[in-house]
């Protein structure tokens, strides 16, 4: 019978953005991944045991291999028609459940519609798209997961007048 003295965890491929942590006894680990790719999770540990009355100490290494598949973020709308001055909230749903490494929202034409009042924004999970002038543009969301970016087409229409008042003095 022996005891696990200490364990340390690491990841061999930091380009996948895998962050690993585990218990000090080497039995469990968890990880968060941000990019697609393969990674080797390494646990280095010390183990103390006795043979008779002689105390032995060994150092070992355990390897776990994981493959992180890319995840595509899907927007809550693929197309949206707005009147001038109206707004809509866009959010994303991450199909894999893994965290995305970041996020970047951009409008193809800030003169037609803005994201949070600007041309682009980042590190937010949702944006408010506001119709600025008549036309069409594309809002692009990139979750930096290695997958194709998601888009929403915004169509902005002018608000037709609801009432026209004509007075005899205004006609010439």
DSSP string, 83-148: ETT-EEEEEEEETT-SPPS--EEEES-TTTEEETTBSEEES-SEEEEEE-SSEEEEEEEE--SSSP
166 or 132, which is more confident = 132
pLDDT given for residue 125 in this prediction: 82
pLDDT given for residue 5 in this prediction: 57
Instruction: Tell me the average pLDDT across 81-87.
Output: 95
pLDDT at 156 over 90: yes
Question: Could you report the per-residue pLDDT of 7-29, keeping only the tens digit for each?
Answer: 666 666 655 555 556 655 555 66
Instruction: Tell me the average pLDDT across 97-119.
Output: 85
pLDDT at 103 over 70: yes
Question: Could you report the per-residue pLDDT of 32-81, keeping only the tens digit for each?
Answer: 655 566 677 777 777 677 777 888 777 777 777 766 665 667 899 999 99
- Residue pair 8/43 in contact (Cβ under 8 Å)? The answer is yes
Nearest to 2 by CA among 58, 41, 75: 58
pLDDT given for residue 24 in this prediction: 54
151 or 14, which is more confident = 151
- Residue pair 97/72 in contact (Cβ under 8 Å)? The answer is no
C-alpha atoms less than 13 angstroms from C-alpha of 4 in its C-beta half-sphere? 14
Q: Length of the chain, please?
A: 172
């Amino acid at each position: 019978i022996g005891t696990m003295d200490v364990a340390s965890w690491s990841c061999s491929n930091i380009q996948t953005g895998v962050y690993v942590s585990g218990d000090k006894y080497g039995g469990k680990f968890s990880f968060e991944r941000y990019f697609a790719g393969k990674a080797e999770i390494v646990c280095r540990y010390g183990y103390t045991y006795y043979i008779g009355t002689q105390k032995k100490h060994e150092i070992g290494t355990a390897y776990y291999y994981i493959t992180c598949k890319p995840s595509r973020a899907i927007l809550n709308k693929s197309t949206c028609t707005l009147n001038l001055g109206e707004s809509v909230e866009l959010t994303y749903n991450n199909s894999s459940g893994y965290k995305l490494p970041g996020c970047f929202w951009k409008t193809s034409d800030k003169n037609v519609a803005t994201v949070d009042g600007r041309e682009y924004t980042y590190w937010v999970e949702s944006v408010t798209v506001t119709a600025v002038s008549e036309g069409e543009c594309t809002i692009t969301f990139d979750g930096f997961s290695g997958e194709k970016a998601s888009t929403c087409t915004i169509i902005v229409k002018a608000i037709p007048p609801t009432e026209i008042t004509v007075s005899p003095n205004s006609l010439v």
